Structure 1
């Protein structure tokens, strides 16, 4: 028989103030944490000049990405078992230490190990923070908060590169990671002071039982359908930008001009804030379908308009708008599917999302150049939309 744990409730006004401050802190922390994934992209040449070119790409990126995706499956059940605050704060502390240590790496081998440790520590944040928001906030505020944190997740991909490009010329690659560690230390101290364990009931059961529950949840028919559709969400995003850079370079654009084109869609990422109101009015299933259709339409337009820079930029904004709507919508779908074990749901969500991101980099291997490859990915978004919509219908029929 399960035993439930319930936290005491502070006064309403105090809880409201605490919630607002906590949401702001979590959004800020999400940005600082996720930047660590992308900050290495502009640093390859600097690291290669310092430590040697052999193995630099793998040292900076591959180990981090794999450890990050794997970490979701580890920490989701841990936060269900030990509590959100404990995992979140200890994970941020470990990430701070690892990031500062990266700045001192004496060789590419040590750098690879430290980046993997960094990715493993960074993975504590997203599933724990998203599960926290699902428990600490009422549904209306929860949708807005998840939208805000989704904006941070998306914008980190561009802001991380801009941060490194701005800091590295003066401070070097080591100074870039060191400054990141200082920012993480400040957020760790703030999290320790501000974040409290959310109200709610959490069943007491052995930790191994939680991991067994995670496996059972992952292989449910609805979870498998969500996962197939979810692979495309960030996979297509990474794939599009992986294809865009070489295409623009071949057209004669400079590195600064290419970065400007990449950043042009940055405002569209704030459309994540629209996902909550849309879901409240239209429902999660239809909101997700709209996101998939917008993303597919944007990619199809990019495929057709690839030779016209203005059209290409406009189409990329449409595409990113669709992805921005999809990210918080899919997060909410996973959370609802896994309730009450939201940590497990967010674990599978994050694992699939970033597994898709890793697969997305292989879009450059698709045939047909920019137009052909984006046409294929556009079709995948349409197929994913149909699959996710079917998963939602399956849940309604139960």
Structure 2
């Protein structure tokens, strides 16, 4: 493993963690933001949804722009734009300023994920590529817990706006580091019409539609799980902090997903992830209904399940999309975040138990899509 790989991996994983943290920063501080700006918590949720929607748009836009301007340029200048946008969020004074600045922040941060995946494919091959993709995915999952811990901790010590000033400084630092440490790659310009034609062709393929069905509910489930849990454990801050923190244990499982797929196969890995999801939600229901302290186990298992499922689905899509891999992964990122944008709006009107039943419904839907993929696996493989 050479020095360049270690250096580039460290920068990209740090970016991945800090970018993904902002998907989750609102979850623990809805109440504090609402009280500070004299708006309702539902309006804060809507502002958070604006971030997710524009983040999803950024994922699709910047992935295609990178083909014209170069992947390094999009990555590093995206960090600088994100620093500026994050500072603006902290200056919000009412609902509309929060809505638009949070959306602008999401758009800027959307410059990272699909560009980083494609950049990794350009720079490395074989085990180095697989390892770096695993590191980046682990960073995304780690951020799901870290983002909540950072925003909750900073807000307790100071005020909610300092959360976004903190991220503004971090993104500015990552801009400087990335500009000096990340290498340039060749620019292979692809016309927008060709990209659009490729996307339309991909959307007509059943196997990818089944995969995107799973994708649509994946991160949405993660957001819904911790959003509903945060409201359910309101006033029990120590238990909430512990439940979030232990979830970090499960995030490490994504590092071993590649090994699981090699040993037992990609479809068995997919179904193990789905089984873990269901077991974790049953444990959460036992806690909610009978107050048996299974919530810690539930948090670990749920994050473990997502840790297995995300890299597995990325690998499935990458394997099935052939020459359209770049556009297929851009669609993956866009659809993942479209589903995520709806999750807080749906669960904010549900009780904790109702949210868990909804999540179980998501799991059974994912299992159905996985079953359809498994049944047609020979045809998909032959077609590629």
Residue among 24, 30, 33 paired with 1:44: 30
1:66 deviates by 1.0
What does 1:25-174 correspond to in 2, within 5 Å? Answer: 25-53=11-39, 56-58=43-45, 60-174=47-161
What does 1:255-334 correspond to in 2, within 5 Å? Answer: 255-304=237-286, 306=288, 307-334=290-317
Equivalent in the alignment of 1:349: 332
Q: Could you say if the C-alpha distance between residues 70 and 45 of structure 1 is closer, same or farther in structure 2, counting changes exceeding 3 Å?
A: same
Q: Does 1:208 align with 2:193?
A: yes
1:303–1:374 Cα contact (<8 Å) kept: no
1:84–1:128 Cα contact (<8 Å) kept: yes
TM-score by length of 2: 0.88
Distance in 1, matches of 2:35 and 2:281, equals: 37
Q: How big is each residue's C-alpha offset from its partner over 1:239-270, in whole Å with a ceiling of 9 and x where there is no partner?
A: 33334344445xxx613322322322221111
1:105–1:111 Cα contact (<8 Å) kept: yes
Distance in 2, matches of 1:129 and 1:41, equals: 26
1:135 deviates by 2.7
Equivalent in the alignment of 1:389: 374
Q: Does 1:17 align with 2:14?
A: no
1:230–1:352 Cα contact (<8 Å) kept: yes
Distance in 2, matches of 1:367 and 1:248, equals: 10
2:56–2:337 Cα contact (<8 Å) kept: yes
Distance in 2, matches of 1:198 and 1:309, equals: 54
Q: CA RMSD in A?
A: 2.7
What does 1:182-261 correspond to in 2, within 5 Å? Answer: 182-198=169-185, 204-249=189-234, 254-261=236-243
Distance in 2, matches of 1:114 and 1:70, equals: 15
1:372 deviates by 4.0
Q: How many residues align?
A: 379
Q: Secondary structure at the match of 2:296?
A: helix
Once structures 1 and 2 are overlaid, which stretch shifts more, 25-34 or 225-234? Answer: 225-234
Once structures 1 and 2 are overlaid, which stretch shifts more, 67-76 or 106-115? Answer: 106-115
Q: Could you say if the C-alpha distance between residues 343 and 191 of structure 1 is closer, same or farther in structure 2, counting changes exceeding 3 Å?
A: farther
Distance in 2, matches of 1:278 and 1:346, equals: 22
TM-score by length of 1: 0.85
Q: Could you say if the C-alpha distance between residues 391 and 81 of structure 1 is closer, same or farther in structure 2, counting changes exceeding 3 Å?
A: farther
1:296 deviates by 2.5
Q: Secondary structure at the match of 1:310?
A: coil
1:148 deviates by 1.5
Distance in 1, matches of 2:298 and 2:202, equals: 37
Once structures 1 and 2 are overlaid, which stretch shifts more, 321-330 or 373-382? Answer: 373-382
2:60–2:334 Cα contact (<8 Å) kept: yes
Distance in 2, matches of 1:391 and 1:152, equals: 32
